[in-house]
Structure 1
């Protein structure tokens, strides 16, 4: 994404990968939205990426026009439309995504904790930290080994 490193980041994770056809439609929907996205009538400078065909990452340069509650609501409404159209969850924040052996899994947080305790998810599995708030944090800390992540410290791995 070609925005300043301090740009605001919002991450939506899907329960599954997007198919090629879904990806084309999702990109069309987001492109159309980005062309008119504004805060209090002023156009927002924003970009997005769809890493691993599974996450939708939106970045907003708030240096000239900050986001507003209403502008973020419209973004969430778009994600709800996408979620409904393609029948996958994007707005459920009580799930964790991790990568193990080049496969990505997204499961409820409670199941994740139990799988870690049971040793089903090893410390070297990569966790996606969807709570990062800036483009710099996204680039540096979005995906990291379980043992080094916020989940690792939470679970005292």
Structure 2
């Protein structure tokens, strides 16, 4: 890819941002931005855009209707589901990878300024892991040191 962006890394970042936005007041804005992106897809017609949005809306509803005690686990599952959805969308529309990355970057800029910020681009052949707490990705688990929780 000429822009150096890995579609699956972009999809993973976007999935994380969307799940986080689902619990904020900014959800409607994030949803509208995704709708505009879906409409620019190669196979964009009313039905396909509607299907993409229905998946987002269902995830949003599931997360917000879940019990507080189940929310963290559900958020992880939804992030994986959205990764698959967005990864498939980007495979069909590789030209929109930079646009989705821009949406992720814009979301990072509109947050309240809390937490760690990182911007990793053109990262070829390596993985970057930045976490404020425990991280679980497939068969790999990294836990925050006991004194830093």
| Shorter-chain TM-score tier | 0.3 to 0.5
TM-score by length of 1: 0.40
TM-score by length of 2: 0.41
Is the strand fraction higher in 1 or 2?
1
